[in-house]
Amino acid sequence: MLNVMKNLKETKLYKVLKSSWLCLRFPFLYPRNRFDGRHHRYMLQHVLWKLHSKAITEFSISIKTQKADDNTYRHSYFAFLNNQIILKKDLGVLIIQNGIDKKEIQLKDIVDLKKFSVIGMEVIFSISGTPVIQLYVKNIDVNDTTNYGGGYKKVELIADKQYNFRYKLLTWIDEKILDNIFILPTYTELDAMEPGWRKAFGIQMCKDIRKQLLKEGNLFKYRILQIKEKWGELCWYDAHSSTEIYKIIEKYEEISRNICIICGKPATKMSTGWICPYCDEHYPDDKTSECNKIEDGKCKE
């Protein structure tokens, strides 16, 4: 019987049912994308990523300040693969075009032309491999040594019409159809909490937050952005919170420092290096680990 129950808990159906029940009890545990607010789904993400790279050429535009007497960067035209990049300083416009698409970016939208003049550009690559159009500017007032501080803009150019059509079609299917069909969660935001903390106080913390949210009438607006361990304590990031919610989070952040992250028992040692609280049974048992004792809720040498 015990083996049957254990095997059941390891099935995907059990995880879906358990996650769904938790999300019904605590709506803020429903996994959502922190940027678009939709729930996480990855069915077509790998395909969409490949299509996007073939359908779209991404450019980033950044600003860099040069000394007033530096005339090195006077380029006004670049041919990049099948794209033309044209800087028309007198008209205050940057043109990026190919045989399919064309974008005109007004320089005034990314540079304060009352204070800086654009003297040239070059094309470089970011660490991720994205082409970056580096615009070089200088102060109009030679006595002004203020650094522009950098500006940034992202531009997308259609590289292939057929791939772009497929990308838009699958994106629409992903967002409008699949996102509304596959709504049952296979996990919750609470899964990101360390297992020991989740076992010791995870549900109680959610109950306290839910109780306060109901008082405020904010239960369905409140969002969890991230839950993680940092410097040996719980870090809980959220949106649409309140002072009372912050007090609840701070309470459990303090509690977490004294709870073993593995099993949820009271912590007796705090590892150094990668700082985490452990009980005697679970603290890292190797010669390179150094541990400090925890007594009365405080770390002792």
Q: What does the pLDDT look like over 116-166, one tens digit per residue?
A: 888 888 888 888 788 898 888 888 887 777 776 567 789 999 999 999 999
Q: Is residue 19 part of a domain?
A: no
Q: What is the pLDDT of residue 168?
A: 95
CA distance 291 to 301: 8
Which of 123, 143, 160 terminates a domain? The answer is 160
More confident residue, 150 or 57: 57
Answer for the pair 261, 277: CB distance below 8 angstroms, yes or no: yes
Q: What does the pLDDT look like over 205-254, one tens digit per residue?
A: 999 999 999 999 999 889 998 999 888 889 999 989 899 999 999 999 99
Residue 245 Cα to chain centre, angstroms: 23
* Residues 200 and 98 both lie in one domain: no
Q: What is the pLDDT of residue 170?
A: 93
Q: What is the pLDDT of residue 251?
A: 93
Q: Is residue 99 part of a domain?
A: yes
Q: Is residue 222 part of a domain?
A: yes
DSSP 114-130: TTEEEEEEEEEE-TTS-
Q: What does the pLDDT look like over 10-22, one tens digit per residue?
A: 677 888 899 899 9
Q: Residue 45: how many CB atoms within 10 A of its CB? A: 11
Q: Looking at the predicted structure, is the pLDDT value of residue 6 above 60?
A: no
In the DSSP assignment, the letter for residue 266 is B
Tokens 């409140």 locate to: 222
Domain that holds residue 67: 49-160
Reading the block at residue 93, the tokens are 């416009």
Which of 160, 176, 211 terminates a domain? The answer is 160
* Residues 155 and 258 both lie in one domain: no
Q: What is the pLDDT of residue 1?
A: 52
User: What is the total count of domains within the chain?
Assistant: 2
CA separation, residue 175 to residues 187, 220, 249, 255 (Å)? 20, 21, 33, 40
Q: Coil, helix or strand for 59? A: strand
Query: Is this prediction's pTM over 0.85?
Result: no
Q: Is residue 196 part of a domain?
A: yes
* Residues 150 and 208 both lie in one domain: no
Mean of per-residue pLDDT scores for the chain: 84
Q: Is residue 228 part of a domain?
A: yes
Instruction: Give pairs for 23-27: CB < 8 Å, separation 24+.
Output: 23/185, 23/188, 25/206, 25/210, 26/190, 26/206, 26/207, 26/209, 26/210, 27/219, 27/220
Q: Coil, helix or strand for 156? A: strand
Answer for the pair 84, 100: CB distance below 8 angstroms, yes or no: no
* Residues 99 and 139 both lie in one domain: yes
* Residues 129 and 192 both lie in one domain: no
